[in-house]
Amino acid sequence: MRVMVTGGAGFIGANFVHRTLATRPDVHIVVLDKMTYAANAQSLAPVADRIELVEGDIADTALVDSLAANTDLVVHFAAESHNDNSLADPTSFVHTNLVGTFSLLEAVRTHGVRYHHISTDEVYGDLELDDPDRFTETTAYNPSSPYSATKAGSDLLVRAWVRSFGVQATISNCSNNYGPYQHIEKFIPRQITNVLSGIRPKLYGHGKNVRDWIHVHDHNDAVWTIIDKGQIGETYLIGADGEADNRTVIETILELTGQPTDAFDFVTDRPGHDLRYAIDSTRLRTELGWQPQFLDFRTGLADTIDWYRNNQNWWQPLKAATENKYATTEKVVE
């Protein structure tokens, strides 16, 4: 089976490549990645001789068409993925998340290729902290940021290409991932690498915002479950019942690294900051039989801290530039 993995040099895509090579000997992987600031060639270095890496833009229709002509399955991870960046400049988000997805859909339509679309729970907007409900496959779309709006639009393109053109596609919307190879602009690796660099962790606003954490391996196993057993045209939510507020996550990282649990700064809040995400993944569990395996968030965090401690060459070159970028907008507040 020839599989094209878009965005395979990014966080979730690189983990998907490693996990697929470890568990599916019949799969040949072609990674298509633009190698933006979010990609890291080192993430694929250990498997460089077992995959094809094509450096290119998913919005390049001629390139995508030629690759799709020789592909059985496209798993589409490539995206501009960081909310804060989308607030600073949404341009690349519209290009990659909307125009890029359109280009892939046209290619899989032309060549009759199976397509799986990776999306996010952020398409549903946010929940109140005390809301007993969680997101399900029937929750109305209500995205808040330019990032989540472009992801929502890309999901709707997929649905239209299924209905109008018979494209063989499935969609998954997952909650917040953590684990190895995540860019240090994101919350958990930013705070871990702050502590490892002697910088105080930074908590946006009041810190009560809740995210529903899932280990990246659980996400990628769910993606293969949907590819293997999902119904064409359907959407599946992926989540592992991992709700935690941001302050608790920072305090746990500080505790696990032997620091005082109050050794962090409150900083200016993210504009339009979504309050809470929570996924009900009953459909995926009951219809397709998926179960998360990495259920102990504290152990998962400890393992992730170890990964960043043991892989400083992977993230050290990015640290100063990442923090300098945050420093242009972020102010410590009392």
Q: How far is the CB of 269 from ligand NAD (least distance, A)?
A: 20
Between CA 60 and CA 100 the distance in angstroms is 8
Told to judge if 121 belongs to the known catalytic residues of this protein, a careful annotator would answer yes
Options 33, 121, 251, 274, the catalytic residue: 121
Contact by Cβ (8 Å): 127, 276: yes
Q: Are 181 and 77 in contact (CB under 8 A)?
A: no
Q: Which does 39 bind (CB under 5 to 8 A by kind): ligand NAD, ligand DAU, none?
A: ligand NAD
Q: How far apart are the first and last CA of the chain?
A: 56
Minimal CB distance residue for ligand DAU = 120
214 binds, among ligand NAD, ligand DAU, none (CB under 5 to 8 A by kind): none
Q: How far is the CB of 179 from ligand NAD (least distance, A)?
A: 10
3-state secondary structure (DSSP) of residue 90: coil
Judged by beta carbon distances under 5 to 8 A according to partner kind, the member of ligand NAD, ligand DAU, none in contact with residue 33 is: ligand NAD
Which positions lie near ligand DAU, rule CB under 6 A? 81-83, 120-122, 175-176, 186-187, 190, 202-204, 209, 211, 246, 270, 277
Q: Give the residue nearest to ligand NAD (CB).
A: 10
Strand-pairing partners, residue 214, are: 177
By a kind-dependent CB cut-off of 5 to 8 A, residue 100 interacts, out of ligand NAD, ligand DAU, none, with: ligand NAD
Q: Helix H segments across the chain?
A: 11-23, 41-44, 61-68, 83-88, 91-93, 101-111, 146-165, 187-196, 216-229, 246-256, 282-288, 297-310, 312-327
Is residue 26 annotated as a catalytic residue, yes or no?
A: no
Q: Which residues lie across from 279 on neighbouring strands? A: 135
**Out of ligand DAU, ligand NAD, none, which partner does residue 242 contact, by CB within 5 to 8 A per kind?**
none
Helices and strands in the chain: count of H runs, count of E runs: 13, 14
Where along the sequence are the contacts to ligand NAD (CB under 6 A)?
6-7, 9-13, 32-36, 38-39, 57-59, 77-81, 96, 100, 118, 120, 151, 174, 176-177, 183
Q: How many CB atoms lie within 10 A of CB 43?
A: 22
Task: Give the separation between CA 103 and CA 255, rounded to whole angstroms.
Answer: 46
Closer of 12 and 167 to ligand NAD (Cβ): 12
Whether 326 is catalytic is: no
Catalytic entry in 115, 124, 147, 308: 147
Report the catalytic residues.
121-122, 147
